[in-house]
Structure 1
């Protein structure tokens, strides 16, 4: 009968914990911007400057106040791409 040796035990791998971003207040952001960031109209919504679909983060530093029309036309475009197209489709970033 042959004996099988146990492989040497390895230290458990440390799994990095995901750090949650600090919460932000919708009211605070709308008050800070006091109107649409893009057209100075009345702000009703929050917009991610770098969209979540493009790798943006859901943090206060990436969020601005926007009117419904600007937010809808920007959609998932980056700010540079959206501005290059004059705030309307078609956009050059293929989204």
Structure 2
């Protein structure tokens, strides 16, 4: 007689987080008079805490930035980017 394997007790899944309210790109660019970092003309949106570092895609984490600042910040945290002045090597290892 073969023995059946018992199934483990069912595990409960964690409830999903509600989706954040969407933000409007043109509204965000209009809210900022220029780049949040250098006061130049803002052309892009930047996540202050990058998505790659656990930041969320919500309006409170998004600012307007010029192309140069956004490109040099890349996936760095704001503190790391400010310390290095946007130049490598970075202390946060990104």
Fold shared per TM-score above 0.5? yes
Please name the residue that 1:71 is paired with: 70
User: What aligned pairs does 1:3-82 form with structure 2 within 5 A after superposition?
Assistant: 13=12, 16-82=15-81
- In 2, Cα distance between the equivalents of 1:26 and 1:88? 28
Provide structure 2 residue ranges, at least 5 long, that are not aligned to the other structure.
1-8
* Alignment length (residue pairs): 87
* Change beyond 3 A, Cα 1:15–1:85: closer
Q: TM-score, normalised by structure 2?
A: 0.83
Cα-Cα RMSD? 1.9
Larger radius of gyration: 1
Are the counterparts in 2 of residues 77 and 93 from structure 1 also a CA contact under 8 Å?
A: yes
